[in-house]
Amino acid sequence: MRIFSGIQPTGRKHLGNYIGAITQYVEGQDRADPAIYCIVDLHATGVSYDPKALPEYVLDTTAMLIAAGLDPGRCILFRQSDVKEHTELCWLLSSVTAYGELQRMTQFKEKAEREQELVRAALFLYPVLQAADILLYRTDEVPVGDDQRQHVELAREVARRFNTTYGDVLVEPAHRIPDVGARIMDLQDPASKMSTTSSSAAGRVYIDDEPDDILRKFKRAETDSGSEVVRAPDKPGISNLIEILAVTRGVPPEDVEREFAGQGYGAFKEAVGEAVVELLMPVRERYRELRADEPALEAALQEGAERARSIATGVMVDVRAAMGVGPRG
């Protein structure tokens, strides 16, 4: 089985990234042959960004993934732009992607609203490039957060349409979304997911935050009316914290509710903060060690790109032949 997933190098990684995606990446190393993880720097160019900062963000993300447990010797870890087959397949797949499907993509609508000066064609084609990322490796499983469900469904549809049109070449991937923690919400706005683009940094817990900062953010987390620690539609703040603690401890949310029954919000929020500090501390410390050695990070990405390319080139031979693109034979 092949596993593939990509992560954007857009700033510091937060708790939502860690729980929703990175922990799945680490777990996938033991199940896949191979597990392939890509730092998708080309996707970052679909919105306004700083060209000088992007290479630094790539190394930041590389160091964070390795610190969290990815082993470049056990998985394939590489930078998207180092494997040119991604962009070639994106263009070829655009021939079997419906314009209307791209118009319906929720993330395009949300991000386009934030791009006041220029809504880039690259942002509109983002889902096609993401489909190319996945399908280029004949991926069986894609570990993602809940917000990427629609994108993986599009990749499945694109693979299906390609195979119907040109012959059975690509694999229809399945998403893997965790039952608990698939969508970690902002601590100050529990109606919105935790994101690097949210308005308030107080709602984001970064993996490399200092322990005191993490504890302070959880103590100030927005909660709900009442005092019961239970999940409910009218308790988005507490429901979010319950899921965070459940994932952090590796227990069902029901266990958290039973443990804190009758204790009130104050003690509960403090316990969540302490658990998150304990979870992230070794990752933060290891990240700082790794980030200081940029040549080693770059070497790991280059080695990973060579291994990724060895798979991608063979798939592209089959894609080109099926589509009649390029010389015969």
Q: pLDDT over 70 for what percent of the chain? A: 99
Domain identity same for 247 and 308: no
For residue 323, pLDDT over 90 is answered with yes
More confident residue, 32 or 299: 299
Name 75's Cβ contacts closer than 8 Å, sequence gap at least 6: 25, 28, 29, 32, 34, 35, 36, 37
Predicted pLDDT at 103: 87
Domain identity same for 239 and 110: no
Q: pLDDT over 90 for what percent of the chain? A: 73
For residue 285, pLDDT over 90 is answered with yes
CA distance 214 to 276: 8
pLDDT, the chain, mean = 92
Domain identity same for 258 and 136: no
Here the CATH number for the domain that contains residue 161 is 3.40.50.620
| Helices vs. strands in the chain: H and E counts, helices first | 13, 5
For residue 79, which phi and psi values (nearest 5 degrees)?
Answer: -95, 130
Predicted pLDDT at 329: 63
Q: Which residue has the tokens 């009316």?
A: 225
Domain identity same for 133 and 9: yes
Q: What tens digit of pLDDT does each residue of 195-227 get?
A: 877 657 889 999 999 999 999 999 999 888 888
Q: What tens digit of pLDDT does each residue of 301-322 get?
A: 999 999 999 999 999 999 999 9
DSSP strands (E only) in the chain: 3-7, 35-39, 76-79, 141-143, 174-176
233 part of a folded domain: yes
Here the CATH number for the domain that contains residue 279 is 1.10.240.10
For residue 277, pLDDT over 90 is answered with yes
Structural domain boundaries, residue 268: 201-288
196 part of a folded domain: no
Domain identity same for 118 and 259: no
189 part of a folded domain: no
Q: What tens digit of pLDDT does each residue of 241-276 get?
A: 999 999 999 999 999 999 998 888 999 999 999 999
Q: Which two tokens stand for residue 193?
A: 């997911």
Domain identity same for 115 and 233: no
Domain identity same for 20 and 156: yes
Residue 37 in 3-state DSSP? strand
Predicted pLDDT at 264: 83
Q: Which of 19, 24, 22 is nearest to 8 (CA)?
A: 22
Q: How many Cβ atoms from other residues are within 10 Å of residue 46's Cβ?
A: 21
314 part of a folded domain: yes
If you ran DSSP here, which 8-state letter would residue 206 be given?
A: B
CA distance 230 to 239: 7
Domain identity same for 150 and 259: no
pLDDT band at 182 (very low <50, low <70, confident <90, very high): confident
